[in-house]
Structure 1
């Protein structure tokens, strides 16, 4: 039996969609990509990987904010 993690499937779809040329995208296509990315974020947020990404981004933002002062 083949099982596919939905988050991994969405990540692959996002990568494939973002590799396309910008000029070839319609507004509906761009909106669909945004919805997919938001769904991926919702799936990743409660996981340990999502928490790690949040911590890294928080450290990056605080470092940039301190460097700006």
Structure 2
């Protein structure tokens, strides 16, 4: 039996548990580590269908906001 792990799923679990912790107990280096992990997660998930769907939704939201702000 071969067990494979998807790195994006592992990082999503790590991010979930890091975000749940109390903010007051975090050091600056701990915050930067969280930012780095989230950045790597974004790079890994971007080329997937799920990532492209998120990009499309965010693009539509930004276009609607910018269109509503212009006369």
Is the TM-score greater than 0.5?
Answer: yes
Q: Counterpart of 1:20?
A: 21
Q: Counterpart of 2:47?
A: 46
Q: Counterpart of 1:31?
A: 32
Q: Counterpart of 2:62?
A: 61
User: d(CA) in 2 for partners of 1:11 and 1:43?
Assistant: 11
Q: Which has the higher helix share?
A: 1
- CA-CA distance at 1:7 after TM superposition: 0.2
- CA-CA distance at 1:66 after TM superposition: 1.1
Q: How many residues align?
A: 69
Structure with the greater alpha carbon radius of gyration: 2
* Structure 1: 5+ residue stretches without partners: none
Secondary structure, aligned partner of 2:61: helix
- CA-CA distance at 1:2 after TM superposition: 2.9
